[in-house]
Structure 1
Amino acid sequence: MLRTMRLKMPASISHPVRLLPLTFFALIVLGTLLLLLPVAREGAGSPSFMAAFFTSASAVTVTGLATVDTSSYWSPTGQGIILVLVEIGGLGIIALATILGLFIGGRLGLRTRLVAQADMHVVNIGEVRPLFKRVAFTMLFFQTVTAIVLTLRYRGAYFSDLPTAIWHGVFDAVMAFNNAGFSLNRDSLVGYAGDGLIIIPISIAVFVGAIGFPVLAELFQEWRRPAQWTIHTRLTVWGSFGLLFVGAAAFLLLEWNNPNTLGGGGFGHKLVTGIEGGIMPRSGGLNSFDWGEVRPETLNIGVILMFIGGGSASTAGGIKITTFLLLAYVIWAELRGDPEIRIGSRSIGPRVVRTAITIALLAVMLVTVTTFLVMLMTDFDFDEVLFECTSAFATVGLSTGITPDLPANAQIVIIVLMFLGRVGTIAAAGALVLRRRIPRYHLPEEQPIIG
């Protein structure tokens, strides 16, 4: 009798925390190979390696930065590959594998659930299976609704044939919900500037996609009883609406009379674009105006919004809204002299605070170092490079227009930033340090002078 031989992975590689970034990297490599096929390139000739590698990394990390024009460089086949990579990257390659396992085998292995838990930030391992089902349904529902709305508008006002309208509607819906910035138009959404029937549905899809799947699942059950929401859901929901209001108000105030952005439009045009300006920097990546033409103050607001990002376990990047608000509570408690961090009727443990501080400091370090490196490699201004690096780390996809002009070494830096921004700073760091050491003794305590 022949026995089935099983290949056993080394424990250091198969550890869930390390397997997560390795899986995403493998998907990037696979996407690169597919995009290198001659059929993926529009016209004669094969795609360049750097164009395929950068595009694949940007798609898998649901960023949207591009060194080549998606509408003219890639063929419909290449554009379809990008769409599939974005869809898989948004769902999470581990989540997709788990859902397939549910439908085929009906059961989850412990290691698979642990990896999925690390990817989706689920607290209770027993919640993984039902959560993945909600994830699949939620993505399909919102993308379908958005695609139908966009297709109807595209067919009625912009495209004469239905297949083109459907393709643009589906592509934009997938990009919007997954918070990716790829577009079938050379100028993204500029051709639809001020059209609320396009900009608003896309903005809503971006906003919902950036909320996070655990929060959406809880809202589905408890949306009528906000008092029953968990602290995580409260911080994410109210924080997201707060940043939307602040971002939109700041954008309207700063760009109201700028002839290159809002100055030439009417009140409705400005209002629609203002809502977009408050949502897209959080991780959307699509734009109906040129971010290279905004005021320096607006560019700085965009950097701040991108750095904060969206909700945990969402298609958004950044340090996440919960991390940002938790640090605000830490500062407030320290200023008041409170012995513990309290949010509502709950206290926050020191380990959570340490994690939030670590994420924020790692993010600041990565963006600072990479901004410095890209400035050494190029001649672009500081504000442009900072915006680009923050957009890459936060997997946003917005750009002032310098991405196609970056040299190959600077493109590698951006790819690394997009990768780390997708898998998460903690997951990337945890992949290098697999075990937490438990001290056998405690050293004497000492308090150095702070400040």
Structure 2
Amino acid sequence: MAPTASSVPREAWNRFGRGVGGFFRDFATSSPSRFAILVFATLILIFTALLSLPIAASDRQVTPLSDALFTAVSTICVTGLSTVEMASHWSPFGKVLIFVGVNIGGMGALTLASMLGLIVSKRLGLRAKLIAAGDSNPLRSHGGPVSESQTVRLGEVGQLLRTVALSTIIIEAGVAVLLYLPIVRAGYGWLDALWLAPEYAAMAFTNTGFTFNDRGLEAFQHDYFFMTVLMGGVFLGSIGFPVIYALSKQLLEPRRWALHVKLTLVTTVILFVLGAGAFLILEYGNPGTLGSRDAWDTTFQAFFLSAMTRSGGFSVVDISELNGSSLVVGSMLMFVGGGSASTAGGIKVTTLAVLALAVWSEAKGRQSVEAFGRRIPSDVQRVAVAVLAWGATIVALATIVIAQITKAPISDVLFDVISAFATVGLSTGLTAELPDSASYVMAATIFMGRVGTVTLAAAVAATSRSQLYSLPVERPIVG
């Protein structure tokens, strides 16, 4: 039977769709790192276009491209920095867009792509598992062999995706319920609280730090229950979905926790306490920050600031009033960030832990790096060094360029650049005043920080090839 005139274009369209779909499937599995960058870039362009619409702004005017792009990058990359006043500039439609965007960005590009594939196809094939595995373990983005002794094995990726979806919904819902009454007590109407509670819950769990109410976090700074719940949401988002997945299975069996889980939790707690102690010592006499508060409030706000500099992005004190020494401490905490495969940024706490253990082992003259009865292989140590080097390079270049453009004090520039790279969201006030050229550089820094140094390095590198020979060994002098 001869094809009808209408069936020919339909068949051609179907062939085109299958060809495009096959290209993206092959591209995703052959280079998950480049696919992650493509997904993030596409989402940013979509949200830039949506935020540029007049309906997204409270004054019903078109938002300038630089502001719309920066907000889209900060939203999808769950950063929290902004070049506009978030509470007054955006309309309810724009705020809903940002709320949706931070939840999309918080889950991770590859995880989101795999979830969409699972919804459409009703099953999770090997291709989708390989894609999702790039988010659960960035080392997989190299495309080479990866040990199945990782926290999340390839066969458990489907369970991990369900954990990501469920934990996001359950944790944000739980935090929103706990925050509702404190928001009402602060003077907001119960209808306003129905929006503000989920908004604060999402911004806490995704470690974004945007605030949409007129007084921001100042309205709740003396409500310690509210602030503690907010810190809890930030902590759960910063430890990473693989850790949440592991704890959901073995919460009461710490001896069975994987090394990654132990390193993440122990390092996170240590940095939290040390950071609070440092801010307490350095700021207790500063009337512009903690010096004007009583002893209990000063101690609590020091712990809150320590938690937020790790990637939370919320702030009660004026960052521009911090002593220079505190800015250095805050920059160090931000640069480290949170856990791997989390909503937090930075070089990650496990990277710091591995580097610290390697330095300690070298000082003790040990042949191997060990922790909790396990040996850390040399390839993981090399990746940790590479992550540190890439992160420092990105921060240094961005700081030089923005400092040259703005002529601003280098301490302010460095703090805001590290905040951008680590997707924290704290600012000395510099970011809101950046000219367009500098805001584009800051947006690129945010993008590179959220994508991750391991993913970025794998994306720009050539395809790895097996080397079937070994070069002669020669030892240069180091140190």
How would you bin the TM-score normalised by the shorter chain? over 0.9
SS in 1 for 2:312: coil
2:186–2:219: 8 Å Cα contact kept in structure 1?
no
Query: Structure 2, unaligned stretches of length 5 or more?
Result: 138-150
- From 114, 122, 126, give the equivalent of 1:106: 122
2:110–2:134: 8 Å Cα contact kept in structure 1?
no
1:116-155 pair list within 5 angstroms: 116-121=132-137, 123-155=152-184
- From 84, 100, 112, give the equivalent of 1:84: 100
Cα distance, 1:256 vs structure 2: 1.6
- From 403, 418, 433, give the equivalent of 2:461: 433
User: 1:418, 1:44 → 2: CA distance?
Assistant: 28
1:254–1:297: 8 Å Cα contact kept in structure 2?
yes
SS in 2 for 1:342: strand
Query: Structure 1, unaligned stretches of length 5 or more?
Result: none
User: 2:132, 2:449 → 1: CA distance?
Assistant: 18
Greater CA deviation, 215-224 or 262-271?
Answer: 262-271
Greater CA deviation, 344-353 or 380-389?
Answer: 344-353
Q: What amino acid is aligned across from residue 356 of structure 1 in structure 2?
A: A
Greater CA deviation, 362-371 or 99-108?
Answer: 99-108
Cα distance, 1:221 vs structure 2: 2.2
1:188–1:287: 8 Å Cα contact kept in structure 2?
no
TM-score, normalised via structure 2 length: 0.91
SS in 2 for 1:7: helix
Q: In the TM superposition, what whole-angstrom CA distance separates every residue of 1:372-418 from its partner, at most 9, and x where no partner exists?
A: 11110112111100000100000000001111111111111111111
Greater CA deviation, 263-272 or 370-379?
Answer: 263-272
Q: What amino acid is aligned across from residue 165 of structure 2 in structure 1?
A: A
1:306–1:390: 8 Å Cα contact kept in structure 2?
yes
Cα distance, 1:435 vs structure 2: 1.8
1:242-321 pair list within 5 angstroms: 242-321=270-349
Asked if 1:218 corresponds to 2:246, the answer is yes
In the alignment, what sits opposite 1:93? 109
In the alignment, what sits opposite 2:69? 53
Question: Share of identical aligned residues, percent?
Answer: 38
User: 2:378, 2:152 → 1: CA distance?
Assistant: 17
User: 2:40, 2:261 → 1: CA distance?
Assistant: 27
In the alignment, what sits opposite 1:64? 80
Q: In the TM superposition, what whole-angstrom CA distance separates every residue of 1:403-446 from its partner, at most 9, and x where no partner exists?
A: 11111111111111111111111101111225212112111100
1:332-347 pair list within 5 angstroms: 332-347=360-375
In the alignment, what sits opposite 1:24? 40
Asked if 1:375 corresponds to 2:403, the answer is yes
1:146-165 pair list within 5 angstroms: 146-159=175-188, 161-165=189-193
User: 1:273, 1:188 → 2: CA distance?
Assistant: 16
Cα distance, 1:17 vs structure 2: 1.9
TM-score, normalised via structure 1 length: 0.96
SS in 2 for 1:283: helix
Cα distance, 1:268 vs structure 2: 3.1
User: 1:60, 1:355 → 2: CA distance?
Assistant: 26
Greater CA deviation, 181-190 or 294-303?
Answer: 181-190
Cα distance, 1:309 vs structure 2: 0.5
Greater CA deviation, 185-194 or 161-170?
Answer: 185-194
Q: What amino acid is aligned across from residue 154 of structure 1 in structure 2?
A: I
Cα distance, 1:271 vs structure 2: 2.8
How much is the aligned-residue C-alpha RMSD, in angstroms? 1.6
Q: What amino acid is aligned across from residue 436 of structure 1 in structure 2?
A: S
SS in 2 for 1:134: helix
Aligned length: 450
In the alignment, what sits opposite 1:75? 91
